[in-house]
Every structure is written in C-alpha cells, then in structure tokens.
Structure 1
Amino acid sequence: MALWAVVALFVVLMLLVIVRLPWAGDLGMHAATVERLRHRLTDPGNPLVDENTPSPYYSPWTVFLGVIARLTGLSVWVVLRIGALISLTLLVTGVWRYVRELTAHRLAPPLALLCVVLLWGTEVFKWSGFLGLNSLALTIAYPSVFALGLAFHFWALVTRTLKGEPAGWTAFLGLGVLWAVILLSHQFTGVVATLGALATVIGARAGRRTWLRLGAGILLGVAILALWPYYDFFALFQVSGLEAIHRPLYEHLFARFCLVLVGVAALALRARRDLRDPLVLFFLLGVLMFAAGGLTGHYSWGRALPSVLIPAQLAAAVEVAGAARGTLRTVGAWVLTAALAIGAWTQVQTVGYVVGRSALPAAVADKYQTPWVGYHWITPWVRYGDVVMVPIYPARQIPAYGAYTVAPGYPDFFLPDEAKREAAVRTYFAKGSSRGARLDVLRSYGVRWVVQRPKDGGLPSGDASLKRVASGPGGQVLYQVVR
C-alpha cells in the first residue's frame, strides 16, 4: 500500500506542477512555436525572429498543439498545460506498459515509475530529455517529455510485436510511423528510442521474416522523416556548434547519477542469466555511445545518456519486484528503498514549484531555485508580430507572447543571418556605440519596442527616440521607439 501511495503522491505533485507550470529554460521557445502555428499553421516562419525560415521545433507534437490553439482560441499557456497533461499520461502509462512486457509482477510498474524519477544521484541534474523529478517538473510541457512517453510505448510495442510468431506487416509499418514521430518531435530522444528498439530486436533473435518487416517499417519511417514539410530532418546531421553546450553532460557524473549504480547491479544479475537481455543490451549500447562522445569530443552524443540510465532504473525495479522471497529480496528491497529515499530528499525542492519558497522548510528552501518571472507586463502594449530589442535572456521569453526579438535567444541553425543579428544586438547595447549606430540597428530590424535596464546600455532613457511606457521587475523598462 505504501508503494501505491507514493506513486499517487508523485502523480498529484506533477498535476499541481502542471497547474503552476514553472518557467525555466526552453519553455519560452516552445510557447513561441505554438503561438506561430496558431497564426500561420502551414507557413509559420521562424518562431523567434521575423524571418521566414524552417525550424526543427515545428514537430508533429507542436503542430498538434498549434491546431488545438487555433481551433479553441485558448491561450498558449493553457494549451501547453493541456500538452503537459497528455505527456504526463503518456509517460506514466508508457512506463507501466513497457515494464509489464518485461515482467508479470504487479509491483514492478509502480516501482519502476519511482525509479525513473528518483533513482538518480545526490546532486540535482536538470536537462530536457532526462526524467529526474526536478528536471521533469521544469520540462513537463517540453516536447522531450512527450517523446519519452511515446518512446516507452514504442519499446513496449516492439517487444510485443517480436514475441512469438512475427506480427503482420501493418504492425511493423505502424512502428515505423511511431519511430518517425518520436524522431521529429525530439531528435535526441529519438536516438534513445532507437537504441532501445535496437536492443530489443537483437535480444529477440529475430528471424528473416521479422527483419524484412522491420526493414519495411524503417523505410516508411525514413520516408516520413524525408517528407516532413516544416524542416529538413536530415540537415540536422550537418549542424555543428553543439559540443560546448553539451560538455556539462560529462561533468560530475558520480554526484549526479550515483544512485543508478543500484540498477547497474541489477543489470549484472540479468546479464548472468542472459547476455542478450534487452535491458542489458540497451544499457551497453547507451554506454558505448556516451563513452564515444566523451572520447572523441562529440559531447552532443551525451544526450544518449538516458539510454544508460533508463535500463538501469527499470532493471532495479524489475529485479527487486520479481526476486524470490528470502534474504536476497529483503536486502535488495532495503537497498532500493534507501536509494529512492536519498533521491527523493535530493529533489524535494520540487515541491516548491507548487507551494512556493515561503512554504518550504529552511533546509529545503536553500535548494530551491525560483522560476523565471515572465513578461506578461508588456502585453498590454506589445502586439503579436512586433519586434522588440532586448538582451539575450529576455529574448528567451518575450517571443512566447507573440512578439519577435532582433536576435534569437537560442541557437538557430536554420537562420542564415544569426551571427549578424547577434552582432546588431551587441552594437545596440555596447557602451561605446554611438547614437547613430544604435538608431541604425533599430531601423534595420523594424524595432518598435525596447526592453532594457539602465545597466544594460542602449539608448538612454531620455533619448528623443524612446518613449517610456511601462516598468517591470528588476528595474526593466519598456520603451516605445518613436519614429
């Protein structure tokens, strides 16, 4: 009963988090993407700047959310909450369904769900595509959570399809469609999904007929990837500049993931019984890719790390739940319980996203990081499609309300003049820039509004080209550009 109560508590916590929808990281990008699709479903243009360029953020998932926004007229924040609720449902049911394919023990699915969110380390790690409780709370409305939830269902379907006699062609073609949707929705999670499916296929010792049907499903998936109209999927293989961003994935590994060693021990037990166990193979494929990324300097390959973590976390749950009664089961249960308790304490500040810092005990409040405030305060004046001049961090939020910024707040590999736009923003805010140079930047990009603080630089508040309109948090001021 205690196990089920903890699972219920987790679900309730995540539902309350969805109601609050804490803002950090990439949430503004995803909100902007849905907002563009609401206004121009078939030709939305760049989500951040006023240019007609493709974007990998226009995925089947965000297009679906854009259709909801367009048909219902709901605000983008309500639509993101609806998306988060769907993603949470997919994740919970996906873990449940996949674990049920691995074992018939009734306690394994709820235990696996707790392992996936709590069996991490003693240092909080937050990144999209990673399912630690704190990370999940901040990314619940991201496409990565949708893709991961779908990935668990994908692995369950692959496992079931390969059991016994080969399934029909339709089943394998359906798997190909599902694989393509995951890859298009979140490319890094698509790699994780692919490694998990490959491990299942290898472990199943598939015959010739199965491989032929798998090949047909793969070809259909590749065709969908090639025909997706919103961006060129295969152009992503030519993208560079991701290594510096992802290098932190290789830092503080023990502190961030030490509790997963419980799952590694469980995998060792499974490997002794069967070296072709799908979870063992999944783990090994993930280790190989992650290690190869670190050794070769391709740090973006570190995004395959969930391929290491997820099979270990699931193995811990499956082994403890399925162990025969006796000393081994008792010891395993106590070790896993202790690890989960440590993981829960490490991430307990997640509760703050529901109750706020003031309601947290001092020891927990010290761990809590306040979410971003947002820019609702500019919306009475700034309209959809207006261009706003801002420094880099506000540029990660303001497009969520429908405006554009001069330079994108996130790397944009499909934007040919990204470097020029970033240079223009630096010119505007640089202390040594002349008034004429700053005005040239505003005119060149059709800027109608400026959001800045006195310490940011830019045109001074008393300049004849600026009209003070409103004040915001942290000393920020909204100025209208006077022509």
Structure 2
Amino acid sequence: MTGRLWTTRVAALVLLLLLLLVVVRLPWAGDLGIHAATVERLRHSLLDPGNPLVDADTPSPYYSPWTVLLGCVAKVTGVSVFVVLRLGALVALGVLVTGVWRYVRVLSARPAAPALALLCLLLLWGTAQFAWSGFLGLHSLALTVAYPSVFALGLAFHLWAWLSRPSGWGVWLGCGVLWAVILLVHQFSGVVASLGALAVVCAGRAGRTEWGRLGAGSALGAVVLWAWPYYDFFALLGAGDGMDAVHRSLYRDLFGRYWLVLVGVAALGARWWRDRRDVLVLFFVLGAVVFLTGGVSGHWSWGRVLPAALIPAQLAVALEVVEAGRRAVRAAWACVLGAALAVGAWGQVGTLGYVVERGVLPGVVEERYREPWTGYHWITPWVRYGDVVMAKEFPARQIPAYGAYTVAPGYPDFFLPDEGGRVAAVRAFFAEEAVGAVRRGIAREYGVRWVVDRGDRFRGAEGLRPVARGPGGEVLYEVVW
C-alpha cells in the first residue's frame, strides 16, 4: 500500500473520529429540537402522535420511516430521546460512509478513491462557515449528524450504486421502494437522490428493458409514497411557496461558501471532454439547472437542491487525482486538490470546538468556533409532558424537544390550518401594549400553562409568576390566571 493511500485513509479516519466524538456531545443547533420532539411524540403514541410542535391533531412530514423507527426504539428501551438521537446519528453516519464507499467503487477501482472522495465531500467547500441540513461539509455535518437528512443522503449513495450495476427486476423494484423511503425521510435530499438516479440511468444509455424496469420501480415507489399513513406526501407539492422565505439565505455569499468546489467543476470539465454523457457531469448539470432556476424565479426553497451540483463536483476531482491520464497529470491534480483541502480544513477548523472545551483551543481556532444552543433542560423540573408554553419563535424551536407544546410552531407547518392565527396570537401576547385581559384570553384559548421570555418584562405582570431563570437571562413564568 503506497504512502499516499495511507495518508488519504488516515486523514479520512481522523475526520470520521472527529464526527464520532461530535455525536457523543451532540451540539444543540438548528432543527435538533423538532427532531427530538418528533421522536418524543412517537414514543408516547406510535399510531396517532399528532402535531410534534403544537397541541393539535394534524399530520406532519417529520413522521418518516426513520423517525418512526427511532420512536419505536425510544418506546421499547425507555432511554432518553437524546440517547436515541445519538444512536440514530451513529447509524446514519455508517450508512453515509458505506454509501459513499460503494458508489465511488462503482466509479473507480482505485483503492484510494473512496477515502479521497470522502475527504472532498467533507472539506471541499469554501472558507465561510456554513451549516444546513442536507449539506455534507464537515462543519455542517457536525451540527446536523443527528438529522434525518444525513440518513437520507446515505441511502441516496446506496441507491446510485445499485442503479449503476446491471440488475434484474427485483433490484429495480427494490430501488423504487428505497427511492420512496428517501423521499419520505427527507424530501429535499430525496430530490437530490432523484436527480442523481436520473443521471445514472441517462448515463447508462438505458434501453427499452431498463426503462421499463425503471418505470415499474418508480410506480412501486409512488405506491409506497401514497400509502404512507403519517402524512400525505403528495400534498407537500403545494408547500414550496410557504418555504421560500426561510431558504432565501441559501442564495447569499455563494462564493465564500463554495469557492473551493470550483476545483471540482474544472474536473467535471475534464470528464466531459472525455465523455459527453459522463454520469457526474449529467448529475451536476441537473442540480445546477434546478438551483439556478430557483434563484431566477424566486423559488428560494429550490436552493436545497444545491448538493446535487456540489456532490458530483467533489467526487469528480477525487477521481481525477487517481485516474486522470499520465502520472504527471495526476500529480498536478493531487497538488491542486491537496492545497484546496488544506484551505477547506482551515475554513472548518471551528468544528474542533464541538469535541473539546473552547478554552483549550488556540486563539485563531477559537475565533472560528460557533457556540451551539444550550437547550431548555432547565425548564423540565416544572414543565411536564403535554404542557403548553407561550414562547417566541427561537425558543419554540427547542422547547418541544422536552415534551411540551408551544402555541405557534417554530417552523413553517404546511399541515397546520390555523398556523397564521397562532403566530398572530404569540405576537399579540408579547406586544408591549398588550393588556392583561388580552393575554389572559390568549392563554385560555390555547391552554397556556407557562411563558418563556428573555429579560424581566413580565416581572409583576398580572397572572404570571416567575418560577425559574435560565441561561442568557430567560425566565420561566407560571400562568396563574
């Protein structure tokens, strides 16, 4: 085994070890609250969990095959929902790594290719810190490793690997079911998986037999989507406009976040020159077209498809290093990629802060550390499962993780018919000019038992009694009307 192969594999193992240590600490960030809340609802009622965030009997796209499985684990074992999420993160990380390994082995027989591809997927991004579910940068993955998107993307790599091999009816039908499961687990990653699958089929110059099997597999997948009992998958097709505002930021600072991927785009150009129907080139074009169309049309939620352009570019440059023509050409690619990976690693070095105490990091590294959320464990001695808490949007994203409900969901909820009224009620409750009678009426309408607010604005307010103070100056009030 050459020294370069050893170096590549050791580097990949170091990053995987870092992610495993991250799982142990499981930093609070982003959507972790809603995923914890989803598992908590399923633990209490697998068949009729209701809305995961508010006290309403509505379906939710967060009830996927993956979270239902985690809910079953939580129900059977009785362990904390955060322990279950850690176990799920370990499984998802394993599925992702083995999926990358399998798909890259389809594209190249070189021993160093899978480990180098994994390094590119984790480090070949930009120098501006960026984290979003479904994006595989090291910093992003460290904060989202317990999210369903990681499991869905891992399954996507396995799907592409299976579709790339000649196979019979059974495999095609199985791929149809797997495609449906990916879409149910994480819809945005499901779109990425679909574009990748389409690229595989088109690059393979499928004949009439293959297209027939593809149609049968797709039809079976559609049946699985239709039959899923926890929510109407096809109703989500009309939910895009309501998600645009929250995704506007995906089209900002594109160069700072992704400029190192340009190395991969150059590699795609080399692959296109050799083969006009190269699978990674087709995959990149499909993803780039959808992403650019979303930006031009103002459908910002389409920005979630960007991994469909990033992943093939990252894989392409890894493959050029091990397969491109003469040794001198490969050496040139290796030098360029090595420099890019070093810059990318420095851009994401703040990830170290999630596995060691911030104070022991060097100053230049500490500056890149992103403080995770502290959570709301401090309210649990008083707030019980099923209690309704009045809180603004930011705490409303975390509080349901501990079993409580909030008046308005912390995230857009397509299936909640009175979402607008709930948001308005929260705004009216916290308005500076609101009088006691208004707040009392809102509290009674939604069954509010507790209020969480930052600062002492409600000190001495009618009907509210302070019972606990949390980090950052937040106060828990009991409703005593």
The normalised TM-score by structure 1 is 0.97
- Mapped partners of 1:355, 1:273: distance in 2: 46
Do the aligned residues in 2 keep the contact of 1:260 with 1:309 (CA within 8 Å)?
A: yes
1:244 Cα deviation after fit? 2.1
Do the aligned residues in 1 keep the contact of 2:243 with 2:412 (CA within 8 Å)?
A: no
Pairwise mapping of residues 251-400 of structure 1 onto structure 2 (< 5 A)? Answer: 251-400=252-401
Who is 1:101 aligned against? Answer: 106
- Mapped partners of 1:463, 1:337: distance in 2: 61
- Mapped partners of 2:303, 2:397: distance in 1: 24
1:99 Cα deviation after fit? 0.1
The change in CA–CA distance for 1:269 and 1:464 in structure 2 (over 3 A counts) is closer
Is 1:433 equivalent to 2:427 in the alignment?
A: no
SS across alignment from 1:371: coil
1:293 Cα deviation after fit? 1.1
More off after superposition, 440-449 vs 242-251: 242-251
Pairwise mapping of residues 144-183 of structure 1 onto structure 2 (< 5 A)? Answer: 144-160=149-165, 163=166, 167-183=167-183
Aligned-residue Cα RMSD (Å) equals 1.1
- Mapped partners of 2:127, 2:82: distance in 1: 33
Who is 1:120 aligned against? Answer: 125
SS across alignment from 1:46: coil
- Mapped partners of 1:56, 1:123: distance in 2: 31
Who is 1:203 aligned against? Answer: 203
Paired amino acid for 1:314: L
Do the aligned residues in 1 keep the contact of 2:203 with 2:277 (CA within 8 Å)?
A: yes
CA offsets per residue over residues 256-308 of structure 1, 9 Å max, x none?
A: 11111111111111111111111111011111111111122212111111111
Is 1:79 equivalent to 2:84 in the alignment?
A: yes
- Mapped partners of 1:306, 1:93: distance in 2: 18
Do the aligned residues in 2 keep the contact of 1:290 with 1:301 (CA within 8 Å)?
A: yes
1:464 Cα deviation after fit? 5.1
SS across alignment from 1:241: helix
Long gaps (5+) in structure 1: none
1:323 Cα deviation after fit? 3.0
- Mapped partners of 1:474, 1:272: distance in 2: 56
Do the aligned residues in 2 keep the contact of 1:357 with 1:370 (CA within 8 Å)?
A: no
1:325 Cα deviation after fit? 4.9
Is 1:416 equivalent to 2:414 in the alignment?
A: no
Do the aligned residues in 2 keep the contact of 1:103 with 1:318 (CA within 8 Å)?
A: yes
More off after superposition, 67-76 vs 252-261: 252-261
- Mapped partners of 2:245, 2:390: distance in 1: 27
Who is 1:470 aligned against? Answer: 468
CA offsets per residue over residues 196-230 of structure 1, 9 Å max, x none?
A: 01001001111111111111100000011111111
1:444 Cα deviation after fit? 0.9
Who is 2:56 aligned against? Answer: 51
Who is 2:231 aligned against? Answer: 231
The normalised TM-score by structure 2 is 0.97
Paired amino acid for 2:25: R
Do the aligned residues in 1 keep the contact of 2:464 with 2:480 (CA within 8 Å)?
A: yes
Who is 1:241 aligned against? Answer: 242
Who is 2:3 aligned against? Answer: none
Aligned pair count reads 475
Long gaps (5+) in structure 2: 1-5
SS across alignment from 1:452: strand
More off after superposition, 326-335 vs 140-149: 326-335
Do the aligned residues in 2 keep the contact of 1:121 with 1:257 (CA within 8 Å)?
A: yes
1:324 Cα deviation after fit? 4.5
1:174 Cα deviation after fit? 0.2
More off after superposition, 145-154 vs 292-301: 292-301
Ranges of 4+ aligned residues in structure 1 off by more than 3 Å:
none
- Mapped partners of 1:338, 1:148: distance in 2: 27
- Mapped partners of 1:138, 1:357: distance in 2: 16
Query: Identical aligned pairs, as a percentage?
Result: 65
- Mapped partners of 1:170, 1:326: distance in 2: 42
Paired amino acid for 2:220: L
SS across alignment from 2:477: strand
Pairwise mapping of residues 186-201 of structure 1 onto structure 2 (< 5 A)? Answer: 186-201=186-201
